[in-house]
Amino acid sequence: MKRPNDLSNYWMPFTANRAFKEAPRFLESADGMYYRTSDGRQILDATSGLWCCNAGHNNPRIVSAIQEQAGRLDYAPPFQLAHEAAFELSSRLTAMAPAGFSQIFYSNSGSEAVDTALKIALGYHRVRGEGSRTRLIGRERGYHGVGFGGTSVGGIVGNRKMFGHLLAGVDHIRHTYQPTLGRFIKGMPEHGADLADDLQRLVDLHDASTIAAIIVEPIACSTGVLIPPQGYLERLREIATKHGILLIFDEVITAFGRVGAPFASTRFGVTPDIITIAKGVTNGAVPMGGALVRSEIYEAIVGATAKGGIEFAHGYTYSAHPLACAAALATLDVYEEHKLFERSRSLEPLWQEALHRLRDKRHVTDLRSFGLIGAIELESREGKPGARGYEFFLRCFEKNVLVRNTGDIVALSPPLIIEEEQIDHIMTVASDVLEEMA
């Protein structure tokens, strides 16, 4: 017998719990570009679930791979034992990565991937006799998950304020958004490469001998889609290399076709030392994350321990989980066979033009886009920051389109299988909602 459900026991993440439980929104099933709600409505997914379902929902190849794996090997302990799919997946992922990446350390989420990457950076410097390099550098408005490491290097105030000082010795460079130099820019801003020099300021302040790594998102998505200025990432790479600082790209969102390439580092032509992944690696079907690492980092850490000893005291019960590996391998097959990365790149101009048709609509103060990512920045209501963005989300949902708001910024990131008429429908609904809102 089904137990009564009063909604009281589930503490929902990043959710206004009391408001939700007064007026819940339940998703019951999903297929392709659409969710279906418990009341039978079909909802066009303009967010890829949560930046993760790049190949759309309920892909039969991915579903079948998970089902088959569950019936053959449901779990395998990752400490001192393994299963073959973990190695097959590692070979495929490192082959997709920029040249020089030879290893991947698996986690279960982007948050864990970031904390793993930070620990790898600290371990690398320590085994090389530079144990004084303990400082980690993030960026204002950055989002790197919710672990203590990721929250510390993250730069979103609302995510940090409840948790005290977090990790000691962390500092932040400036973010890249400069609305005074231009709004409604299509693609990468022309100005702002010099903002990367803020890393040099922190080197001058703290001394390079204390800094282990800097971590940035190539595109800062969760904070509202901040596109890097032309030359910015190249300059960041140059400064980090000059001072022996590891450069970590958090590609939990930007990898796997979101910007029309396997990784944003590929698209931008800038190679970091570590890349974190999650979300799109399994199309969101099974939790999985990881840190891709350049060969010299792996070799330094592994080579510092005698053969037979555990070289890196870190890991997770569910690292390279068999079901996650099966989902990831099938997902990579889908991406390749349907040429979804190329499709994403080909749709980018159409997506950009459709988004920028909202330029003259009420309440819109800026529009930003790159790849199949877009942001609609709304004017905040006096004394009520975030209220207009949340209302926009609710009104779009009522009109059967799912968007995501971060305060008064609305983020869009549809599955890569989206069709032209679905792009038009998203923008039509957005336009209607903007006209209706006070």
Q: Residue 63 corresponds to which amino acid? A: V
17-55+338-436 domain in CATH 3.90.1150.10? yes
| pTM given for the model | 0.97
If one counts every other C-beta atom within 10 angstroms of the C-beta of residue 87, the result is 12
Residue boundaries of the structural domains of the chain: 17-55+338-436, 64-337
Alpha-carbon separation of residue 300 from 74, 127, 241, 319 (angstroms): 34, 7, 17, 22
| Average pLDDT taken over every residue of the chain | 97
Residue 266's closest CA among 278, 244, 251?
Answer: 251
Q: Of the candidates 111, 101, 66, which has an alpha carbon nearest to the alpha carbon of residue 289? A: 111
Residue 294: strand, helix, or coil: strand
Is 50 exceeded by the pLDDT of residue 1? no
The 10s digit of each residue's pLDDT in 299-354 is 999 999 999 999 999 999 999 999 999 999 999 999 999 999 999 999 999 999 99
The CATH code of the domain at 64-337 is 3.40.640.10
Per-residue pLDDT tens for 84-120? 999 999 999 999 999 999 999 999 999 999 999 999 9
CA–centroid distance for 133 within its chain: 27
CB neighbours of residue 287 within 10 Å:
19
pLDDT attached to residue 2 = 57
Please write the tens of the pLDDT for every residue from 397-423.
Answer: 999 999 999 999 999 999 999 999 999
136: which 2 tokens? Answer: 């980690």
Per-residue pLDDT band for 4 (boundaries 50, 70, 90) equals low
